[in-house]
């Protein structure tokens, strides 16, 4: 069997069009790709691809300390060692502040009476769905304010890879998170290619440079799409010069026009409302596939 | 809330990225700076962009460190306790040595302090910087995470501490926060008195706004909403805000000239009608009597 190719879509800056590009690739690839929404703390792919939430499982990202008042001897060691200010002492008793607990378990190790136990904390849900193009999608919802979204991203990707293997499809298309933090690192880990979607703004170029260093650290080859290239042609030229100098393959320039606004308003992919855009993105996905065969 | 409040800490956040947090933060700060001192704090430490919009002088770089364990092979007896107590897989017992993966470390000190022979002292590790820019009445503090770091929360907390230590005399403090709804946003917004969520009138904007509001309600944060790119869609953001009891603070129109100014790294205040939009938002904030 051929090795499954994982294509992750990233940008550094938010709002440059990652989801638009990833959803277009997903619809074009059809049954050739399993979709993984790795932007788990602001997931949007489901709005376009209309998954059926066929299968769901609880995601536990870590532990939380639970203190049994009956066994507590009020020695205060737990409060002493906690670096996160999660142990509170008031009205003559110690309590754990759930929201501040990091789940490290240090308190449970120093408690002389075994009053503190670590229990798994639910921090989200993971879904495996059928989507409107006949393929499948793995997506998730992180609980509000939860930690360890990188671990959830890893689970989304593992499931997507497993399904791709089971149904014999060659690609996993992963929509990534903005920034350079743990969910981004997790989505790059083990990926075949990173499609960087940028836009001609000074902010986007600054952010692109930073996420490129992360891709380099994970040894993932970056490719680049300049979205909304027509909003500032001078800045587009600056970006082109930069990516050429870096030896990054430039895949496509996508124009910004009213069809984008229309597609967004209807929660549709851009290729569903504009035939020229469809042709452009089909050609782009073709290039991605070709390059994926070489890595 | 804060009873001895001498300053007003406003967080600018959003669920979805790219909705206009930086646009609003920089312009609002610049507007306030026309009449009084203002502190702008860039807490989007993974991708800080505020400094692009100001020509101010970089006055200081404050290196920021976190504490991580370092293995002392001479002292170590290979008892394996450190690996057993690490709940994050950052310390692993390889049998003949102890391996430490700093990006996985949550800096809890358990391995270090529980080691019976002090073979894992905590040492400083550079995680990023706080950059201080001086721009007349506007002071910009920028948190900037090293690109080989994956956890932004420790740096965000350091920036908050720096603000509390040295800048509590400045009345208006604007905290440009990271996107999303997970731990970095909580770290950025939790010390603020009020959170302004910037959204856009699309199904995507609404979806992520709903999640952001849900998150802030867990922490009991008072909040308001600004609709950016108003006119580009017809999602029922206002209806949602009314239903949830969230303040509507204003709108920024869908306008290609605003997008172009932003793309060049320029503020909007040179244009009278754009300045009026930002002024109206500031007036709405003042009316909240925070």
Domain match, A170 and A197 both = yes
Chain B interface includes A75 (CB < 8 A): no
Residues B198, A124, B47, B2: is their CA dihedral positive or negative? positive
Give the DSSP H/E element, type plus range, for residue A289. Answer: helix A275-292
Domain match, A186 and A236 both = yes
Out of B113, B185, B233, the one facing A81 most closely (by C-beta) is B113
Domain match, B238 and B275 both = yes
Domain match, A207 and A179 both = yes
Is residue A57 included in any domain, yes or no? no
Domain match, B220 and B274 both = yes
Query: With DSSP H G I counted as helix, E B as strand and the rest as coil, what are the percentages for chain A, rounded to 5?
Result: 40, 25, 35
Domain match, A38 and A111 both = no
Angle between the A258-265 and B203-218 helix axes, to the nearest 10 degrees?
50
Residues of B in contact with A63 (CB under 8 A): 87
Is residue A257 included in any domain, yes or no? yes
CA distance A224 to A239: 10
pLDDT at A58: 96
Domain match, A32 and A115 both = no
Closest-CA residue of A relative to B67 is A83
pLDDT at B103: 84
A100 is in which domain, residue-wise? Answer: 62-122
Is residue A56 included in any domain, yes or no? no
- As a whole number of angstroms, the longest Cα–Cα distance in chain A is 72
Domain match, B140 and B114 both = no
pLDDT at A283: 98
Domain match, A158 and A99 both = no
Domain match, A202 and A240 both = yes
**Which CATH number goes with the domain that contains A102?**
3.30.70.20
pLDDT at B232: 81
- More confident: A262 or A5: A5
Domain match, B170 and B233 both = yes
Domain match, A9 and A150 both = yes
Q: Do B108 and A144 touch (CB under 8 A)?
A: no
Q: How far is A40 from chain B (nearest CA, A)?
A: 9
Closest-CA residue of A relative to B230 is A261
Q: Terminus-to-terminus CA distance in chain B, angstroms?
A: 10
Is residue B3 included in any domain, yes or no? no
Domain match, B139 and B58 both = yes
Count of structural domains within chain B:
2
Q: Which of A18, A21, A41 would you mutate first to test chain B, the one with the most B CBs within 10 A? A: A41
Residues of A in contact with B114 (CB under 8 A): 106, 109-110
Residues of B in contact with A122 (CB under 8 A): none
**pLDDT classification of A1: cutoffs 50, 70, 90:** low
Count of structural domains within chain A:
2
**pLDDT classification of A147: cutoffs 50, 70, 90:** confident
CA distance A267 to B6: 44
Q: Do A99 and B52 touch (CB under 8 A)?
A: no
B109 is in which domain, residue-wise? Answer: 71-120
- What is the DSSP-derived secondary structure letter of residue A192? S
Domain match, A9 and A97 both = no
Q: How far is B221 from chain A (nearest CA, A)?
A: 13
Domain match, A85 and A42 both = no
Q: Do B184 and A181 touch (CB under 8 A)?
A: yes
- Note the ipTM here: 0.92
- What does the block give as tokens for B203? 């199904």
Is residue A261 included in any domain, yes or no? yes
Domain match, A271 and A159 both = yes
Measure Cα distances from B13 to A171, B183, B189, B194 in Å. 34, 13, 8, 10
**pLDDT, tens only, A57-110:** 999 989 999 999 999 999 999 999 999 999 999 999 999 998 889 999 999 999
The last residue of one of the domains, among A70, A97, A122, is A122
Domain match, B29 and B148 both = yes
Helices assigned H by DSSP within B201-271: 203-218, 237-244, 256-263
Q: Are strands B98-100 and B91-93 parallel, antiparallel or unpaired?
A: antiparallel
Chain B interface includes A154 (CB < 8 A): no
Measure Cα distances from A46 to A82, A138, B159, B165 in Å. 39, 10, 35, 44
pLDDT at B5: 64
State which residues of chain B have pLDDT below 70: 1-5
- Average of pLDDT values for A210-217? 97
Q: Do A104 and B211 touch (CB under 8 A)?
A: no
Closest-CA residue of B relative to A12 is B47
pLDDT-wise least confident of A17-31, A179-193, A251-265, B243-257: A251-265
The average confidence (pLDDT) of chain A is 95
Residue A137: beta bridge partners? A35, A129
Is residue B2 included in any domain, yes or no? no
pLDDT at B226: 98
pLDDT at A137: 98
- What does the block give as tokens for B70? 């370092």
Domain match, B40 and B100 both = no
Q: Do B17 and A149 touch (CB under 8 A)?
A: no
Neighbours of A153 (CB within 10 A): 30
Domain match, B152 and B226 both = yes
pLDDT at B128: 98
User: What is the pTM for the complete model shown?
Assistant: 0.94
- What does the block give as tokens for B117? 């022979």
Out of B108, B182, B204, the one facing A44 most closely (by C-beta) is B204
Residues of A in contact with B231 (CB under 8 A): none
Q: Do B179 and A179 touch (CB under 8 A)?
A: yes
Q: Do B17 and A13 touch (CB under 8 A)?
A: yes
Q: What are phi and psi of B259, to 5 degrees?
A: -60, -40
For residue A156, the SS3 value is helix
**pLDDT, tens only, A7-62:** 999 999 999 999 999 999 999 999 999 999 999 989 999 999 999 999 999 999 89
Chain A from 11 to 70: CB within 8 A of any B CB: 12-16, 19, 40-42, 44, 47, 62-63
The last residue of one of the domains, among A122, A143, A160, is A122
CA distance A180 to B131: 19
**Which CATH number goes with the domain that contains B115?**
3.30.70.20
Chain B interface includes A217 (CB < 8 A): yes
Count of all residues that appear for chain A in the document = 295
Sole residue written with tokens 């489901």: A46
Q: How buried is residue B165: exposed, middle or buried, by Cβ count under 10 Å (0-12/13-18/19+)? A: exposed
Q: How far is B139 from chain A (nearest CA, A)?
A: 20
**Which CATH number goes with the domain that contains B27?**
3.40.50.300
Out of A104, A178, A181, the one facing B108 most closely (by C-beta) is A104
CA distance B290 to B288: 6
Domain match, A191 and A274 both = yes
pLDDT at A146: 85
pLDDT at B1: 43
The last residue of one of the domains, among A98, A122, A146, is A122
């Amino acid at each position: 069997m051929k090795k499954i190719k994982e294509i992750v879509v990233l940008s550094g800056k938010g709002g440059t069009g990652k989801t638009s590009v990833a959803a277009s690739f997903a619809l074009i690839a059809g049954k050739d790709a399993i979709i993984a929404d790795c932007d788990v703390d602001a997931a949007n792919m489901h709005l376009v691809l209309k998954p059926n939430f066929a299968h769901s499982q609880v995601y536990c990202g870590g532990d939380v300390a639970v203190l049994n008042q009956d066994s507590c001897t009020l020695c205060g060691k737990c409060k002493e060692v906690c670096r996160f200010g999660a142990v509170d002492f008031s009205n003559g008793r110690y309590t754990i502040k759930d929201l501040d607990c990091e789940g490290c378990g240090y308190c449970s190790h120093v408690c002389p009476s075994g009053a503190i136990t670590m229990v798994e904390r639910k921090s989200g849900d993971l879904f495996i769905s059928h989507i409107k193009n006949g393929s499948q999608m793995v997506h998730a919802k992180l609980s509000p304010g939860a930690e360890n979204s990188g671990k959830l991203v890893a689970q989304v990707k593992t499931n997507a890879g497993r399904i791709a293997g089971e149904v014999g499809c060659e690609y996993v298309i992963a929509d990534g998170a903005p920034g350079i933090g743990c969910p981004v690192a997790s989505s790059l880990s083990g990926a075949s290619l990173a499609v960087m979607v940028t836009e001609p703004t000074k902010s986007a170029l600054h952010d692109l440079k930073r996420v490129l260093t992360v891709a380099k650290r994970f040894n993932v080859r970056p490719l680049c799409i300049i979205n909304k290239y027509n909003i500032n042609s001078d800045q587009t030229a600056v970006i082109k010069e930069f990516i050429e100098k870096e030896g990054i393959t430039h895949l496509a320039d996508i124009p910004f026009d009213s069809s984008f606004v229309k597609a967004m308003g209807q929660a549709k992919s851009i290729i569903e409302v504009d035939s020229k855009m469809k042709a452009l993105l089909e050609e782009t996905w073709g290039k991605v596939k070709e390059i994926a065969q070489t890595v | 809330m804060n009873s001895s409040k001498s300053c007003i800490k406003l967080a600018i956040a959003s669920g979805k990225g790219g909705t206009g947090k930086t646009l609003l933060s920089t312009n609002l700060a610049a507007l306030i700076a026309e009449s009084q001192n203002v502190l702008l704090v860039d807490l989007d430490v993974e991708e800080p962009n505020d400094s692009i919009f100001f020509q101010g002088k970089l006055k200081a770089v404050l290196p920021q460190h976190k504490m991580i364990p370092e293995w002392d092979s001479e002292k170590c007896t290979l008892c394996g306790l450190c690996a057993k107590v690490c709940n994050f897989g950052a310390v692993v017992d390889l049998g003949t040595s102890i391996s430490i993966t700093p990006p996985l470390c949550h800096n809890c000190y358990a391995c270090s302090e529980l080691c019976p022979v002090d073979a894992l002292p905590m040492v400083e590790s550079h995680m990023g910087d706080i950059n201080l820019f001086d721009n007349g009445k506007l002071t910009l503090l920028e948190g900037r995470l090293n690109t080989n770091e994956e956890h932004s929360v420790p740096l965000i907390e350091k920036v908050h501490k720096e603000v509390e230590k040295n800048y509590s005399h400045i009345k208006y403090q604007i905290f440009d926060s990271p996107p999303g709804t997970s731990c970095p946003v909580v770290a950025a917004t939790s010390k603020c008195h009020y959170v302004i969520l910037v959204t856009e009138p699309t199904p995507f904007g609404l979806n992520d706004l709903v999640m952001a509001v849900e998150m802030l309600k867990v922490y009991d944060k008072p909040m308001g909403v600004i609709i950016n790119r108003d006119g580009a869609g017809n999602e029922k953001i206002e209806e949602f805000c009314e239903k949830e009891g969230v303040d509507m603070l204003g709108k920024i129109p869908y306008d290609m000239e605003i997008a172009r100014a932003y793309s060049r790294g320029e503020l909007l205040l040179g244009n009278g009608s754009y300045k009026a939009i930002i002024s109206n938002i500031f007036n709405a904030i003042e009316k909240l009597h925070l």
